[in-house]
Amino acid sequence: MARIDISELSKDFGNVRALDGVTLSLDKGRIVGLLGPNGSGKTTLIKILNGLLVPTSGSVEINGIAPGVETKKKVAYLPDRNALPAYMTSDQLVELYSDFFYDFDAAKADAMIDDLGINRSQTMQKMSKGTKEKLQLCLVMARQADVYLLDEPIGGVDPATRDYILRTIISNYNEDGIVIISTHLISDIESVLDNVVFLKEGRVVLEGPADDIREKEGKSIDELFREVFRC
């Protein structure tokens, strides 16, 4: 059963505290919005969950295990940049994912790539920014992972692509898993979220089921976000 436990997690970059005592527990079957403005600590938290950053203090566990080789078998990560080798084609990337991730469904990835009409012989470096993002998302969502960590999956793409990306997430994630979507584009994503976590200056300022928060506050998550993070 997928579960994430974060306890008193802090991360410093020199004199700057990026995360400050974050404590969270997330259970399976939820799509969680990790929401906050730029610099609030969203990407830092996701990187720590992936083992790409070492925390200054506190702990993180995925299914009871600290980030490492075992958790990486179960975590699918979409970074906020193109991390795949630019000289590879989509076919080569499908083979790459098949080689390293046992939960990767190559047929599912192929179907999504065909849906998008991506040229299979074109290398990543020749693709548009939006196509690269869609291809990376196809590869990530074609895994039957316990945890999906999607860092800004809809940032910098056109509205039609945003719709495609959100549909892809909803229709492909493992329903026994957890999906964490980090973004500051709340209105586009609000409808798919089960839970929300507001991060402000490295601290959790609001957390809970999206419906409960909407009912309690009498406003949408997007409206609440604008209120909490008003400049």
The smaller minimum CB distance to other proteins, of residues 59 and 100, is found at: 100
Please give the backbone phi and psi of residue 147, each rounded to the nearest 5 degrees, phi first.
Answer: -135, 130
Looking from the CA of 196 toward its CB, the CA atoms found within 13 Å total: 26
Minimum distance from residue 39 beta carbon to other proteins (Å): 13
Minimum distance from residue 106 beta carbon to other proteins (Å): 15
Minimum distance from residue 91 beta carbon to other proteins (Å): 14
The smaller minimum CB distance to other proteins, of residues 35 and 140, is found at: 140
Minimum distance from residue 66 beta carbon to other proteins (Å): 12
The smaller minimum CB distance to other proteins, of residues 79 and 202, is found at: 79
Q: What is the DSSP string of 145-202?
A: -SEEEEESTTTTS-HHHHHHHHHHHHHHS-TTSEEEEEES-HHHHGGG-SEEEEEETT
The smaller minimum CB distance to other proteins, of residues 37 and 51, is found at: 51
Binding site for other proteins (CB under 8 A): 13-14, 47, 50-54, 69-70, 72-73, 75, 77, 79, 81-85, 87, 96, 99-101
Contacts of 179 (CB under 8 A, 6+ apart): 30, 31, 32, 147, 148, 150, 169, 173
Minimum distance from residue 103 beta carbon to other proteins (Å): 10
Beta bridge partners of 147: 75, 178
The smaller minimum CB distance to other proteins, of residues 72 and 226, is found at: 72
